[in-house]
Amino acid sequence: MKKLILFGDSLLAGYIDEHATNIVTQGLQEKLPNFTIINNSVPGSTTEEAIDFYDLRIKPFNYDLVILALGTNDANMQFGLSAGRYAHNLQVLVDLIGVDKTILMGPSYTNWKIAKDQAWPKTLQFELVAEQCHIENNIPFLNLAKVMCETGHPNDLLQKDGIHLNQEGNKLLIEKLAELVKEKETAAIS
């Protein structure tokens, strides 16, 4: 059975009511029965920490695919990561994981009117950085913030904190990630 590792922040950790849950792991497992899903996401992490976590949370596993989903915390005004540093860190992570084994997800939409540390212009900037990483490496990409906005009601996909996904938001996330994994598998067979 193929092994898929989820490597991200609280979004992939299925953070609900201030706790990590298995909602994303279980949802993907149901949609991707040919994979063993291992969720090694760390709530609150940025790309800086993810590089440090690589040897512990990714390298030891004989993985087929990794969903790399970081950026929402990187874009947080308190952490002060620049777009250039985020771009560098993403590329380091893609190189460590392997371009042929990476599926990239950009930062999430956040309601900056509630989550004051999540400035919308910075989120947009980091979204573009992630998209550029996808283009330069020719890897599958989920532009989560854009997908959420395209629903016409992105705030309805968030919990009260304005950052984390609610049930409906997680359902959308799971659906879009499962589609990318299936597309990558189909392309690999062709």
pLDDT digit string, tens, across residues 79-115 = 768 999 999 999 999 999 999 999 999 999 999 888 8
Up-side HSE of residue 159: CA atoms within 13 Å toward CB? Answer: 15
Q: How far apart are CA 173 and CA 14, in angstroms?
A: 10
Domain that holds residue 9: 2-189
The pTM of the full predicted model, rounded to 2 decimals, is: 0.95
Supply 70's token pair.
């970081």
Tokens 């512990």 label which residue?
56
pLDDT of residue 92: 98
Domains contained in the chain, number: 1
Nearest residue to 33 via CA among 172, 190, 178: 178
pLDDT of residue 76: 85
% pLDDT > 90, the chain: 84
CATH number of the domain to which 50 belongs: 3.40.50.1110
Is residue 103 within 8 A of residue 64, CB to CB? The reply is no
pLDDT band at 25 (very low <50, low <70, confident <90, very high): very high
Is residue 112 within 8 A of residue 120, CB to CB? The reply is yes
